[in-house]
A and B are shown apart, each in its own frame.
Chain A
Amino acid sequence: MFWHLPSVPAKSPAAKGCFPEDNPLQKRMLAPQQVEKIGIGFLILISLITVLPIILIVVYIFIQGAPAFSWEFLTSMPSNGMKSGGLWPAIIGTFYLTLGTAIFSVPLGIAAAVYIAEYAPNNQWTRLIRIAIINLAGIPSVVYGLFGLGLFVVFLKFGTSILAASLTLSIMTLPVIISTTEEALRSVPTSFRVISVSLGATRWQTIWKIVLPQAVPGILTGVILGLERAAGETAPILFTGAAFFLPRLPQSPFDATMALPYHLFVISTQVPGMPIQIQYGTVLVLLFFVLGMNLAATTIRSRARAKRQW
């Protein structure tokens, strides 16, 4: 019996409670095993309350959105004040914005992560970089919108454009890409680096030829999750590049564009008398987008884990 072990000094006030007759656990109405059963049941209940709505949401959107869903709905222009027709310009717009975000944020984010994981000395400056990244991650998305409006739209005179919106979204996505890439780089064993350097490779050669290739799946997962978030955001593009309605597709990076999430916001709150089917259809398309990227990220991650030999 564990209370006979001499681990508790006899003089400490807690010692008394360690003898069987005073054991607080035994004075309770319930045995520890019963408490455990109730406690675990409670945790299972809480987890169910957390995840059931998620399942319900996904299933509900599928059921409600399926009737509106067709090839035509995806590839035709909206008509009749968006009350009929399709989503083509919004889909293309979201594609352009995601692409633009990727062009700016992926190289920059990976390079920044390489610096932090491989080069940065352990000093105050590095600590400051970390605080800056954590801060970027926490800044509300609408504040990014304000910043993009101030810097890209007004100060640099890009106007409300795909370029301004993509740059705004890139800075917002940066912390996600940096932190996941850093984690991926750190998970590459140190011995890889030691061997590479001992064979005469320079630090950069080691990183470029050995460490980065090993970290690719982890980086890719992070990039996809970051871009997924950027693609679904509305607040940062509200005043930097989103258009209420455009009769044609954007022709250059300096054009404003329609985007799926903003389009959903518009048709669900700004246009009265919008057919409910089109609204649910739009949600379904957005959901497909998100689930598709999520699936891609998880597949890459689990495949890489299965193949990894270290």
Chain B
Amino acid sequence: MEKIRIRPVWKEILATRVIQICGYSSILFVLLILFFLLSEGLPAVWTTDMTSLLGTRWYPTEAFFGIWPLIFGSVIVTLGAGLVSVPLGIGTAVYISEIAPRWAKEVLKPLVEILAGLPSVVLGFLGILVLSPFMRRLLDMPTGLTAFTGSILLGMISIPTIVSVGEDALNTVPKSYREASMALGATCWQTSWGITLPAAKSGVITAVLLGLGRAMGETMAVMMVTGNAPVLPHSLQAIFMPVRTMTATIASEMGEVAAGSVHYSVLFLIGIILFIISLVVNVLAFTLSSRKITRSERLLS
């Protein structure tokens, strides 16, 4: 009788188990994050006054924990960033994917990758030393550290996300669409603008969502250049005033509070809000992009 080799069998089972556990670890981490945010942040809801929490003043040393100015700060800076990054990002994605000659692609893509890799402190640093003095002189304002400056920086930070996700979306449009359009006599521009871009619509929306999500969650650069003033706006002028975002508030105040204090749990509560926003944005983006896959698969089959 030959000896039966059992070794591979238990090895196989062990390897499969370990890998399966690792595969499910992401779910565990999301749950852990949610659990710790909730356990540290939810007490804020019953230990603080609702009137204080939903008020319009953020002044923690005197127990005014109004989160509206912070939410407003995040929203205005993110919208401003979108105004910068959406046209630039999508335009660049269309150019790279549809029109650019090979050499231009090989120059543009690594440059965008470098931007994606630049630490946000570096951009924040240049924001303080170069961009905000320039803005102050340009717009003739008392300070250059405003929501506007922050928006430009955040726009730059979210451009790489929009370009790479958008380019992927454009690349998944079947080649036959372009060929059919060209064969009907459309120009290259008409094809990209009228055929490819609309066909990749849901992917492009995903790109915009992820880019804005990135901008909303950005911390260091915003903290350094937006002037750190948690005030609710009175007019549209607010874009040229200092603001304070949710992320910057957590980053700048968490170091100074005692663990377990009211201030501490309110900061975690802001973390919960940020978590929920990113959850909504990402699940939305995911469903949009996976719907696109099923539809194009149906069309191609």
Closest to A289 in B: B119
| B274 close to A138 (CB less than 8 A) | no
Q: A39 CA to B96 CA in the complex, in Å?
A: 14
Q: Which residues from B are CB-within-8-Å of A283?
A: 122, 125-126
Interface segment, one of A67-75, A110-118, A245-253: A110-118
A50/B40 contact (C-beta < 8 A), A265-B220, A286-B122, A294-B113 known? no
B184 contact from A2, A44, A57, Cβ within 8 A = A2
Kindly provide the distance from the CB of A7 to the nearest chain B CB, expressed in whole angstroms: 9
| A115 close to B95 (CB less than 8 A) | no
A233/B23 contact (C-beta < 8 A), A47-B92, A151-B32 known? no
A146/B250 contact (C-beta < 8 A), A51-B112, A119-B23, A204-B16 known? yes
Q: Which residues from B are CB-within-8-Å of A202?
A: 8, 12
Q: Which residues from B are CB-within-8-Å of A20?
A: none
Interface segment, one of A85-93, A95-103, A186-194, A224-232: A224-232
Q: Which residues from B are CB-within-8-Å of A58?
A: 114
**A149 at interface by CB-CB < 8 Å:** yes
Interface size on A, residues (CB 8 A): 91
Closest to B30 in A: A132
Q: A112 CA to B26 CA in the complex, in Å?
A: 8
**B42 at interface by CB-CB < 8 Å:** no
| B119 close to A233 (CB less than 8 A) | yes
Q: A147 CA to B33 CA in the complex, in Å?
A: 6
Closest to A43 in B: B95
Kindly provide the distance from the CB of B264 to the nearest chain A CB, expressed in whole angstroms: 9
Q: Which residues from A are CB-within-8-Å of B142?
A: none
| B274 close to A136 (CB less than 8 A) | no
Q: Which residues from A are CB-within-8-Å of B281?
A: 138
Kindly provide the distance from the CB of A299 to the nearest chain B CB, expressed in whole angstroms: 11
| A139 close to B278 (CB less than 8 A) | yes
Q: Is the interface of A mostly helix, strand, loop or mixed?
A: helix
Q: A44 CA to B104 CA in the complex, in Å?
A: 10
**A82 at interface by CB-CB < 8 Å:** no
**A22 at interface by CB-CB < 8 Å:** no
**A234 at interface by CB-CB < 8 Å:** yes
| B117 close to A140 (CB less than 8 A) | no
Q: A128 CA to B285 CA in the complex, in Å?
A: 14
**B271 at interface by CB-CB < 8 Å:** yes
| A129 close to B187 (CB less than 8 A) | no
Interface segment, one of B57-65, B170-178, B211-219: B211-219
Q: Which residues from A are CB-within-8-Å of B25?
A: 108, 112, 174
Q: A135 CA to B251 CA in the complex, in Å?
A: 21
B117 contact from A47, A53, A135, A293, Cβ within 8 A = A293
Closest to A244 in B: B255
**B18 at interface by CB-CB < 8 Å:** yes
Interface segment, one of B47-55, B83-91, B231-239: B83-91
**B138 at interface by CB-CB < 8 Å:** no
Kindly provide the distance from the CB of B179 to the nearest chain A CB, expressed in whole angstroms: 14
| A142 close to B27 (CB less than 8 A) | no
| A204 close to B217 (CB less than 8 A) | no
A129/B27 contact (C-beta < 8 A), A36-B187, A143-B217, A235-B251 known? yes
Closest to B210 in A: A138
**A300 at interface by CB-CB < 8 Å:** no
Closest to B185 in A: A2
| A290 close to B117 (CB less than 8 A) | yes
Closest to A153 in B: B259
**B224 at interface by CB-CB < 8 Å:** yes
Q: Which residues from A are CB-within-8-Å of B113?
A: 294, 298
Q: A255 CA to B120 CA in the complex, in Å?
A: 25
Q: List 25 A-B contacts (CB under 8 A).
A: A2-B185, A39-B193, A44-B95, A50-B91, A50-B92, A50-B112, A51-B107, A51-B111, A54-B111, A54-B114, A119-B16, A129-B26, A138-B217, A142-B247, A143-B37, A143-B217, A232-B121, A232-B122, A234-B219, A239-B255, A261-B122, A261-B220, A268-B124, A268-B125, A286-B119
